[in-house]
Each structure stands twice: as structure tokens, then as C-alpha cells.
């Protein structure tokens, strides 16, 4: 799956980026397939189709400048996200894949080993990462995309073996695990990047550095609102011929194949959609507000999925309090399992303007609204920080005969953020990691930032269980 981000991990993990990835034709195809294959068959079929199209889309390997230091890379966890990261890495010059480790030797491991072979990376496949670390001494960096509950052990052992690590979010499903990762990075002096890829997205960086910090276009941010609405979809399955033997599943912490495929929904393995999806966006709340939350209250439940087969909440609504350097702020976030209308985005509302931003290049990529009472933005338009405002549609509205209430504010000017990401979403974050390995950049999401994000997000599930408002202390975010 292209990442849950890719938006729809939980259901059509193989779906490419974008909010709920099923369009009308997909739904019709899916429904017509269900009677023949069962839900299990449909979910598998979608993933296989997606993966074929992703592999076919991979571009020819880039030519590296002769003096570029080659970095030897291993992939640990070759599932949906491991494949998305591999595709992005194949576009980055100066990388040499050496090994792929995945316990699903029958399917994911073989698939990625074969794909890399087609791109002239002769790699060895491993089931056990410790054997890989023992045998592949020349590896410089390990990219970890295993389920969340494995992140801490994999990361700590790779760092201690002298490797730099890029580890997917959520950094860990426990704070103890996340703390051990920070400690290992400090102890070994090796780099640890956490996969909150928006931190390296040029549009997010532009908004933070130019629009919020330099031009201060929003004024004082008072409220934040964000969401990831996702369409319902069947659980993931796998054909019997690719089933992992029970003994191996248990050895690696999985009860059976359905749990192995749908680990996100299980306590002790993942954190449900709020962790899977929300972690990306709540990380942006902290970044753009320049603060960590002080309190959290949340409500959640299994409103759609069967509690007999799903443990984590499919629907969560959260309110955070922040004490930002400019004053108090409140931030709402929701992740829903219903349909994907309105997709995923973050909105920051200040007393002078609003920023609506998303990782999605198609929906809400970056829109800005200037309050009519705010100072003019001409300077920022001229500098190219924001586009010129769109002509207002007030006249069209009045032509429609609708009557505006006297209390309605004048519609703010609408601008756009003129920065587009033309590469795969994860490529800039991986590039930042490899640049840092070469000593040419600082990590955009080092372990300490990943930890602050994990503290903020993992507490949501606690708040739901406690049915009360929980506080954070500044010490909670320090290690």
C-alpha cells in the first residue's frame, strides 16, 4: 500500500496517494468482484494490481555524479510502505541496495528482491534481520518499514550495529520503545530519521519558513482543524498459497494471517487510524504552532468495524490545547472510517489569515485566505511567496438571488501557495536522510522530533480510554 497515507492504508493499502482511494469505477469493480472472491479476495486483488502499476511506473535509475559517495542500503520490511520507499529510492542517485529483509519470504521479500534485480541491484534476501546485520557488513543505512511494534527493536539493533537508520512513523507503538530509539541514536552517534515525510515536503517547508515565520501572514494562530476521512473497505487478505507458516508468524509476534495483514487494528501491534494517519498531521500542528500540546481530550469508537476482529477505534475526534509563543490555541483533529469525502488536510486559522494545506497534490495543496482587515499581501505576492488573489465570487452569488445576512463577513481574498512537489511524496525526506548521511544536511525529522510527535499522538488513545481530559507536562516531551 502506498502508505496509509497513500492514503487509505487501512483498507486499500495498495492504493496510491490521495484521500479515500476508491473512485466510482473501483467501487463497482470491487463490488462485482466480492461475490466471486469474497472480501478477502478483493482486498488482495486491489493490492496486487496497485503494486504491479507502481513497479511499472518506476523510472530508470538516475546517473550519479562520479564524485558522489555511494551509500549501501538495506530495506527492513518490504510491505506496502517498504515498496513505496523503494520506488522513491530508485530515483535517488548514489544508492546501492545490498539486502532486503522481510519475514514474508513467500511474497513481499521475493517481490522486492526481484524488482531491485530488474534495476541492477543484486540483493540478498533475509528473513531474520540479525542474520542480515551479521552478514552484510558493508551496509551503511537501513530503511525500516516493519509494523510499528517492531520499530524499536529493529532501530536500536541497527544503530548499535553501526548503521544509520530511516524508520517509518509511528516511531513506536510505546513511549518506552520510542525512548530507547532516541537513547540508541545518542549513544551510537548514528543518524535516526523518523518518517514524517511532510517535514521535508517543499510546500510545508515554504509555508513554515516563508509564510508563517518570515511574512507572518496568518497573524496569531488561534485554531487548527484537520482531518483524514477515509472510505470503508474490507480487511486485507492473502491467497493461501502465500500464507506464512503458523510457527513463523508466532515467532514474529502475529497470531495468524489476518492479524499479520491487518496489524494496524490490533493493540500491542499498531495504534489504529489516529496513530496511523493522525500522527502525520498532528506532527504538523506541533511544528507550525511552535509548541507541543498541554492537554488533550478525545472521543473514539469502533463505529463501523466489528469489535470482534478490530481492536482500535475506527473513528476518533480529538481536541488539543496549546500554549504557543503567541498565546493559547486549540486544535481539532478527526479521522473517520465512513467515506473519503473531503479527504485529508490541515487548516491553520489566525487573526489575519487562514492556511489550508495538504500533502495531497490534487486536493487542498495549499490555499491561503487573507482577512479583509489584515495588512495587504502585495509584497508577498510580488516576492512570489503567495499567488495573486483569485477574483471573488460575490457577484455571482448576488446574481443567484440568494440573500446575504448582514452579519456575514466579506469573503477573504483567496491565494494559493505556489509550491508543487513533482516527485513521489517520500522522496524529499529520503533525500534529506541520505544528504545527512553524506554530511551535507541536517535531518528534518530527527529522533527527538519523532518522539515529541509520538508523545502527542499516543496519548489520544489513552484519553479515549480514560474518558477524560489529560495533561502533558513539558517534561513529557524531553528525554
The rounded distance, in Å, linking the Cα atoms of 71 and 52 is 27
Task: Give the nearest distance from C-beta 78 to ligand NAD in angstroms.
Answer: 5
Q: Does 103 bind ligand NAD (CB under 6 A)?
A: yes
- Find the binder of ligand NAD among 42, 150, 344, 345 (CB under 6 A): 150
Residue given cell 537501513 in the structure block: 142
Q: Does 43 bind ligand NAD (CB under 6 A)?
A: no
Measured from the CB atom, is 108 or 292 closer to ligand NAD?
Answer: 108
Footprint of ligand NAD on 259-298 (CB under 6 A): 276
- Of 365, 419, 271, which is closest to residue 18 (Cα–Cα)? 365
Q: Does 3 bind ligand NAD (CB under 6 A)?
A: yes
Measured from the CB atom, is 240 or 378 closer to ligand NAD?
Answer: 240
Contact string 9-38 vs ligand NAD (x = CB under 6 A): x---x-------------------------
Footprint of ligand NAD on 374-413 (CB under 6 A): none
Measured from the CB atom, is 9 or 370 closer to ligand NAD?
Answer: 9
- Are 359 and 17 spatial neighbours (Cβ–Cβ below 8 Å)? yes
DSSP-assigned beta bridge partners for residue 141: 73, 164
Task: Give the nearest distance from C-beta 46 to ligand NAD in angstroms.
Answer: 13
Task: Give the nearest distance from C-beta 150 to ligand NAD in angstroms.
Answer: 5
Angle of helix 447-466 versus helix 175-188 axis, rounded to 10: 170
- Find the binder of ligand NAD among 242, 252, 332, 472 (CB under 6 A): 252
Task: Give the nearest distance from C-beta 17 to ligand NAD in angstroms.
Answer: 9
Measured from the CB atom, is 174 or 197 closer to ligand NAD?
Answer: 197
Characterise 467 by phi-psi region: left (phi > 0), alpha (psi -120 to 50), beta (else).
Answer: left
Task: Give the nearest distance from C-beta 410 to ligand NAD in angstroms.
Answer: 39
Task: Give the nearest distance from C-beta 267 to ligand NAD in angstroms.
Answer: 15
Position of minimal CB gap to ligand NAD: 79
Residue given cell 524531553 in the structure block: 478
The rounded distance, in Å, linking the Cα atoms of 127 and 144 is 14
Footprint of ligand NAD on 161-190 (CB under 6 A): 168-170
Task: Give the nearest distance from C-beta 333 to ligand NAD in angstroms.
Answer: 17
Give me the sheet containing 192-194, strands edge to edge.
124-126, 95-101, 71-76, 141-144, 164-167, 192-194
Distances (CA, A) of 312 to 11, 66, 273, 338, 442: 14, 50, 8, 15, 35
- Find the binder of ligand NAD among 81, 86, 281, 431 (CB under 6 A): 81
Binders of ligand NAD: how many residues, by CB under 6 A?
Answer: 31
Measured from the CB atom, is 221 or 249 closer to ligand NAD?
Answer: 249
Task: Give the nearest distance from C-beta 82 to ligand NAD in angstroms.
Answer: 6
Task: Give the nearest distance from C-beta 355 to ligand NAD in angstroms.
Answer: 21
> Looking at 147-155, 157-165, 387-395, 446-454, which segment touches ligand NAD (CB under 6 A)?
147-155
> Looking at 3-11, 135-143, 375-383, 460-468, which segment touches ligand NAD (CB under 6 A)?
3-11
Footprint of ligand NAD on 61-80 (CB under 6 A): 76-80
> Looking at 5-13, 23-31, 56-64, 398-406, which segment touches ligand NAD (CB under 6 A)?
5-13
Measured from the CB atom, is 108 or 281 closer to ligand NAD?
Answer: 108
Measured from the CB atom, is 278 or 350 closer to ligand NAD?
Answer: 278
Distances (CA, A) of 33 to 15, 29, 44, 165: 17, 6, 11, 41
Q: Does 197 bind ligand NAD (CB under 6 A)?
A: yes
- Would you tell me which residues interact with ligand NAD (CB under 6 A)? 1, 3-5, 9, 13, 76-82, 101-104, 108, 129, 145-148, 150, 168-170, 195, 197, 252, 276
Amino acid at each position: 500500500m502506498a502508505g496509509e497515507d497513500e492514503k487509505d492504508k487501512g483498507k486499500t493499502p495498495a492504493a496510491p496517494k490521495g484521500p479515500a482511494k476508491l473512485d466510482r469505477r473501483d467501487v463497482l469493480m470491487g463490488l462485482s468482484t466480492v461475490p466471486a472472491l469474497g472480501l478477502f479476495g478483493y482486498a488482495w486483488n486491489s493490492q496486487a494490481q496497485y503494486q504491479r502499476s507502481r513497479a511499472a511506473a518506476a523510472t530508470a535509475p538516475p546517473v550519479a555524479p562520479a564524485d558522489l559517495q555511494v551509500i549501501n542500503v538495506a530495506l527492513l520490511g518490504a510491505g506496502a510502505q517498504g515498496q513505496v520507499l523503494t520506488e522513491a529510492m530508485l530515483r535517488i542517485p548514489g544508492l546501492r541496495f545490498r539486502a532486503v529483509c522481510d519475514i514474508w519470504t513467500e511474497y513481499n521479500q521475493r517481490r522486492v528482491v526481484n524488482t531491485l534485480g530488474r534495476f541492477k541491484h543484486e540483493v540478498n534476501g533475509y528473513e531474520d534481520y540479525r542474520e542480515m546485520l551479521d552478514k552484510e557488513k558493508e551496509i551503511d543505512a537501513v530503511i525500516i518499514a516493519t509494523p510499528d511494534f517492531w520499530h524499536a527493536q529493529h532501530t536500536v539493533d541497527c544503530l548499535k550495529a553501526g548503521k544509520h537508520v530511516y524508520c517509518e512513523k509511528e516511531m513506536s507503538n510505546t513511549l518506552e520503545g520510542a525512548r530507547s530509539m532516541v537513547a540508541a541514536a545518542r549513544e551510537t552517534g548514528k543518524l535516526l530519521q523518523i518518517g514524517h515525510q511532510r517535514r521535508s515536503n517543499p510546500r510545508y517547508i515554504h509555508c513554515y519558513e516563508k509564510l508563517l515565520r518570515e511574512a507572518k501572514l496568518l497573524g496569531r494562530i488561534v485554531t487548527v482543524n484537520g482531518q483524514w476521512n477515509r472510505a470503508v473497505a474490507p480487511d486485507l487478505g492473502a491467497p493461501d498459497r502465500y500464507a506464512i507458516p503458523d510457527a513463523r508468524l508466532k515467532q514474529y509476534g502475529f497470531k495468524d494471517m489476518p492479524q499479520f495483514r491487518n496489524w494496524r487494528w490490533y493493540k500491542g501491534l499498531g495504534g489504529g487510524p489516529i496513530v496511523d494517519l493522525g500522527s502525520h498531521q498532528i506532527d504538523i500542528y506541533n511544528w507550525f504552532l511552535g509548541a507541543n500540546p498541554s492537554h488533550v481530550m478525545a472521543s473514539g469508537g469502533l463505529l463501523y468495524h466489528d469489535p470482534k476482529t478490530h481492536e482500535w477505534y475506527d473513528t476518533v475526534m480529538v481536541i488539543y490545547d496549546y500554549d504557543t509563543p503567541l498565546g493559547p490555541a486549540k486544535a481539532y483533529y478527526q479521522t473517520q472510517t465512513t467515506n473519503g469525502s473531503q479527504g485529508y488536510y490541515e487548516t491553520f486559522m489566525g487573526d489575519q489569515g487562514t492556511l489550508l494545506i495538504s500533502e495531497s497534490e490534487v486536493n487542498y495543496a495549499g490555499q491561503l485566505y487573507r482577512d479583509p482587515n489584515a495588512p495587504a499581501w502585495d509584497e508577498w505576492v510580488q516576492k512570489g511567496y503567495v499567488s495573486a488573489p483569485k477574483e471573488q465570487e460575490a457577484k455571482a452569488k448576488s446574481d443567484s438571488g440568494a440573500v446575504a445576512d448582514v452579519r456575514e463577513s466579506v469573503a477573504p481574498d483567496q491565494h494559493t501557495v505556489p509550491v508543487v512537489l513533482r516527485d513521489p511524496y517520500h522522496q524529499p525526506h529520503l533525500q534529506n536522510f541520505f544528504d545527512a548521511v553524506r554530511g551535507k544536511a541536517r535531518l528534518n525529522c530527527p529522533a527527538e522530533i519523532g518522539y515529541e510527535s509520538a508523545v502527542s499522538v499516543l496519548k489520544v488513545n489513552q484519553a479515549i480510554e480514560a474518558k477524560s481530559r489529560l495533561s502533558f507536562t513539558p517534561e513529557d516531551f524531553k528525554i
